[in-house]
Structure 1
């Protein structure tokens, strides 16, 4: 567990060092001293790349009604009997191509842990020992349930829950919140609970994104002619049913373009990771980059503003599948600009958001 806390000073209600309230009977259960918790939440990761690890992870992910909202009687037989008999092999291969072999874990887990460490250090510098910081995953480990229970047991009577998705979407932000609420429903003593809203238009997030693009362009072998902002896709009906994700992605691109001072066609929006038969928001990134190459745009860059951490969708799908589609269509140089990950300006943006959302719960130390 990553944390930025030390025990707070005892109050006149505490018995120092005992974990017991001063006037409680001798058989009263120990009570941890009160803390404020900050819990960062990311999408998730398989524990390993073998068939059964991948199957467990994919089953949890694809059984989520926020991700695939078809009727269970129709979807589960298809998922369990057909899709999960084949897909774990392909997904395992994709994960093996990006796996952090030194730590034997996915890059998403490595990066999220480092983000948490830096956020904890930043909050400790601002608030001293008043705040405890940890992270969880919606799918896989460390699970939302286990970390929330650990924080509550450690004395977190107030918890700020921060899904690390700049743009709100039902299959990302909402399902992360849902999972936290499921745990709260089972706790005898619920902490006060806040969720962090979408931060796609936060000035510090946009500036960190713009800085990463400037650095990517400066390091590129050949100056890119077009920047493609590639976001994870959602079915088009989600937009029709009121999910704001598509609109927030479009606004992110516009704000990024304005921060860079570019003209309209210099940055374009596309969507990746589509599956299934229904219509999804578009254009599809893999098709769009190929079309750019056919139009004579031989040098492009791709950035992923919807991902706070590099993961299989960026390191494998963009760096391999989408890159290959562009080069096969006649493109010459393809520059991938990494996610913001644990960049200092990204951490500063997260800290600014957290401090704002902690308002009234904890005061900066003198």
Structure 2
């Protein structure tokens, strides 16, 4: 029986009010986020984190002072481990690795080494690839693994934007919300975390993959003449970000006098962007601008189809490389940030 360590990557979040500023510093000090030379990036990260900390602390106050992302990821890890070991020949153990707050890659890599696996499988909990998320986490892990001398054969995933279990889970969560608005004019809004436009223009495939996820979910729903749109939330700073913004689409729905069903299409667990931004801030905006009804779909979380889809990917993984959901490159060749060589 082979021992396989499955490392789940996620963003992480502050676990106390005093952790907010250092969490933000870690985020903005990442060269994948702020693309400046090290001394200048340190100064910018320090400035941004200090200025944004009071606002962010107010946001996390709505959540009890801390982010729920770690306990939610623990629940996903437990469900996945159970699924992987149910009748399997190999022994799988899941580990959680956060990018910007505890547990950090160096500590997790040491835990994995102590467990002494025959193989390590890397699984970002970002269905759609971006140089700012999956690539950053994978690079951080590789550095940490070298640092602790973890030499086990390693493989993993870069993305799975159209994986069948993911799509099925979204569709099942959306259907009752659409049924609730039956007979009313409504629009399905797929809201994803935004990126600066220049990052996408430089070759990041995130937007393209988000759009593919939304298309597959719409196909799965099979609703005739469904009105739907992809939009982007959580803009920070003065630069141009991906459009249309979720706020713009909420205003448009208000002007048109229609209802909205909001789907957090790029998040697989609940955190501040869903529980505060979507549920509180955007809900308040929707009411203000005259949106008839505003319904928010839950993230996929531990949905049976989502977990089963992740397990199926892990079980069929072969080789020692970073792969997409189908083993080959799924991004068009123009996206140079894709981790896989052009096919």
Asked if TM exceeds 0.5, the reply is yes
Question: Secondary structure, in 3 states, of the residue corresponding to 1:45?
Answer: coil
Relative distance call for 1:220 and 1:136 in structure 2 (3 A) is: farther
Which position in structure 1 is the counterpart of 2:26? Answer: 60
Relative distance call for 1:47 and 1:222 in structure 2 (3 A) is: farther
Relative distance call for 1:216 and 1:144 in structure 2 (3 A) is: farther
Asked whether 1:43 is paired with 2:11, we answer: yes
Asked whether 1:336 is paired with 2:296, we answer: yes
* CA RMSD between the two structures: 2.1
Q: Is the 1:114–1:342 contact (alpha carbons within 8 Å) kept by the matching residues of 2?
A: yes
Q: Any residues of structure 2 matched to 1:175-254 within 5 Å, and which?
A: 175-219=136-180, 225-254=186-215
**Number of residue equivalences:** 320
1:300 to 260, 285, 289: 260
Which position in structure 1 is the counterpart of 2:249? Answer: 288
Q: Is the 2:191–2:264 contact (alpha carbons within 8 Å) kept by the matching residues of 1?
A: yes
Which position in structure 2 is the counterpart of 1:76? Answer: 42
Q: Is the 1:257–1:263 contact (alpha carbons within 8 Å) kept by the matching residues of 2?
A: no
TM-score, structure 2 normalization: 0.87
Asked whether 1:350 is paired with 2:315, we answer: no
Shift in Å, 1:86: 2.9
Relative distance call for 1:221 and 1:145 in structure 2 (3 A) is: farther
Q: Is the 1:45–1:57 contact (alpha carbons within 8 Å) kept by the matching residues of 2?
A: yes
C-alpha separation between the residues in 1 aligned to 2:122 and 2:164?
Answer: 21
C-alpha separation between the residues in 2 aligned to 1:161 and 1:110?
Answer: 19
C-alpha separation between the residues in 2 aligned to 1:323 and 1:222?
Answer: 21
Map Cα deviations across residues 5-27 of structure 1 (whole Å, 9 max, x no partner): xxx6xxxxxxxxxxxxxxxxxxx
C-alpha separation between the residues in 2 aligned to 1:222 and 1:135?
Answer: 44
Q: Is the 2:188–2:260 contact (alpha carbons within 8 Å) kept by the matching residues of 1?
A: yes
Shift in Å, 1:259: 1.0
Question: Secondary structure, in 3 states, of the residue corresponding to 1:87?
Answer: helix
1:133 to 62, 73, 94: 94
Shift in Å, 1:56: 1.0
Q: Is the 2:109–2:148 contact (alpha carbons within 8 Å) kept by the matching residues of 1?
A: no
Stretches of structure 1 lacking an aligned partner (at least 5 in a row): 1-7, 9-33, 361-366
Q: Is the 1:220–1:335 contact (alpha carbons within 8 Å) kept by the matching residues of 2?
A: no
User: Which is worse superposed, 165-174 or 192-201?
Assistant: 192-201
**Quick check: which has more Rg, 1 or 2?**
1
Relative distance call for 1:236 and 1:263 in structure 2 (3 A) is: farther
Question: Secondary structure, in 3 states, of the residue corresponding to 1:340?
Answer: coil
TM-score, structure 1 normalization: 0.82
Asked whether 1:94 is paired with 2:59, we answer: yes
Question: Secondary structure, in 3 states, of the residue corresponding to 2:189?
Answer: strand
C-alpha separation between the residues in 1 aligned to 2:14 and 2:318?
Answer: 32
Asked whether 1:277 is paired with 2:268, we answer: no
Stretches of structure 2 lacking an aligned partner (at least 5 in a row): 321-343
Map Cα deviations across residues 136-160 of structure 1 (whole Å, 9 max, x no partner): 2111111122112111111113100
1:85 to 50, 66, 69: 50
Which position in structure 1 is the counterpart of 2:109? Answer: 148
Asked whether 1:319 is paired with 2:284, we answer: no
Q: Is the 2:257–2:292 contact (alpha carbons within 8 Å) kept by the matching residues of 1?
A: no
Question: Secondary structure, in 3 states, of the residue corresponding to 2:123?
Answer: strand
Runs of 4+ in 1 over 4 A off after TM superposition: 219-224
Question: Secondary structure, in 3 states, of the residue corresponding to 1:171?
Answer: coil
